[in-house]
Amino acid sequence: MKTFSSFLIALVIGTLLISCENDGTAVDSSKPKARGSIGEIILVIDSAKWAGPVGIELKEIFESDIPGMIRSEAKFKVNTVDPRAMTRMLKMSTNLIYVTTFDDKGAASQAINAQFSKESKEKAMNDPSLYSLRMEDEYAIGQEVLYLFGNNEDQLIENLKKNRNRLQNLIEVRERGRLEKVILARKNTAAAFEAKKNLGIEINVPASYQVAKSENDFLWVRQITPSGNRADISLFFYETDYTSEEQTFPANILKLRDAITKHHIFGDPEDTTSYVVSEKQIPPVFRNMVINDNFTTEMRGSWKTNNTSMGGSYLGYLMVDQKKGKLYYIEGFVFYPNEVHRDALREIETILLNTNVSWKDDQGA
**Tens digits of per-residue pLDDT, 83-137?**
999 999 999 999 999 999 999 999 999 999 999 988 888 888 899 899 999 999 9
Same domain, 225 and 150: no
Residue 288 forms beta bridges with which residues?
A: 297
Give the pLDDT confidence score for residue 293 in this predicted structure: 87
319-348 as b/e: b if 16+ CB within 10 A: bbbeebebbbbbbbbbbbeeeebbbbbbbb
Same domain, 62 and 101: yes
The answer as to whether 157 is a domain residue is: yes
The answer as to whether 363 is a domain residue is: no
- Amino acid identity for residue 359 in this structure: W
3 state SS of 309: coil
The 8-class DSSP code of residue 26 comes to P
- End residue of a domain, out of 182, 199, 215: 182
Give the pLDDT confidence score for residue 221 in this predicted structure: 96
CA 35 to chain centre: 18
Domain count, the chain: 2
* Rounded-to-integer distance, Cα 25 and Cα 111, Å: 31
Same domain, 149 and 19: yes
* Rounded-to-integer distance, Cα 214 and Cα 339, Å: 30
Residues 46 and 82 sit within 8 Å (Cβ to Cβ): yes
Residue 213 forms beta bridges with which residues?
A: 220
- Amino acid identity for residue 101 in this structure: T
pLDDT over threshold 70, residue 251:
yes
Same domain, 173 and 255: no
Residue 150 forms beta bridges with which residues?
A: 101
The answer as to whether 332 is a domain residue is: yes
Same domain, 226 and 337: yes
The answer as to whether 358 is a domain residue is: no
Same domain, 196 and 69: no
* Rounded-to-integer distance, Cα 136 and Cα 179, Å: 17
Give the pLDDT confidence score for residue 168 in this predicted structure: 96
Q: What are 188-246's pLDDT values in tens digits?
A: 999 999 999 999 999 999 999 999 999 999 999 998 776 778 899 999 999 999 999 99
* Rounded-to-integer distance, Cα 126 and Cα 151, Å: 10
Closest CA to 44 of 4, 94, 83: 83
The answer as to whether 265 is a domain residue is: yes
The answer as to whether 319 is a domain residue is: yes
Residue 79 forms beta bridges with which residues?
A: 42
- End residue of a domain, out of 140, 159, 182: 182
Same domain, 111 and 42: yes
Quick one: pLDDT band at residue 266, thresholds 50, 70, 90? confident
Torsion of CA 58, 71, 173, 36, to 10 degrees: 80
Give the pLDDT confidence score for residue 124 in this predicted structure: 85
Strands 77-81 and 40-44: parallel
* Cα angle value 104/107/110 (rounded, 5°): 55
Same domain, 212 and 319: yes
The answer as to whether 50 is a domain residue is: yes
Give the pLDDT confidence score for residue 8 in this predicted structure: 37
Give the pLDDT confidence score for residue 226 in this predicted structure: 67
CB proximity list for 298: less than 8 A, separation 6 or greater:
286, 287, 288, 289, 315, 316, 317
Same domain, 347 and 291: yes
Residues 99 and 109 sit within 8 Å (Cβ to Cβ): no
Same domain, 98 and 38: yes
Closest CA to 78 of 53, 55, 101: 55
Quick one: pLDDT band at residue 27, thresholds 50, 70, 90? low
For the residues of 212-269, what is the DSSP string, one character each? EEEETTEEEEEE---BTTB-EEEEEEEEEE---GGGGSHHHHHHHHHHHHHHH-EEET
pLDDT over threshold 60, residue 3:
no
Same domain, 36 and 168: yes
Quick one: pLDDT band at residue 361, thresholds 50, 70, 90? low
**Cβ atoms within 10 Å, residue 230:** 14
CATH no. for residue 191? 3.40.1000.10
Give the pLDDT confidence score for residue 121 in this predicted structure: 87
Give the pLDDT confidence score for residue 17 in this predicted structure: 38
Average pLDDT over residues 147-168: 97
Full 3-state SS string of 153-201: HHHHHHHHHHCHHHHHHHHHHHHHHHHHHHHCCCECHHHHHHHHHHHCC
Same domain, 174 and 194: no
- End residue of a domain, out of 182, 214, 235: 182
The answer as to whether 364 is a domain residue is: no
Write out the residue range of the structural domain in which residue 284 sits. Answer: 187-352
CA 178 to chain centre: 10
Give the pLDDT confidence score for residue 228 in this predicted structure: 72
Strands 326-335 and 95-101: unpaired
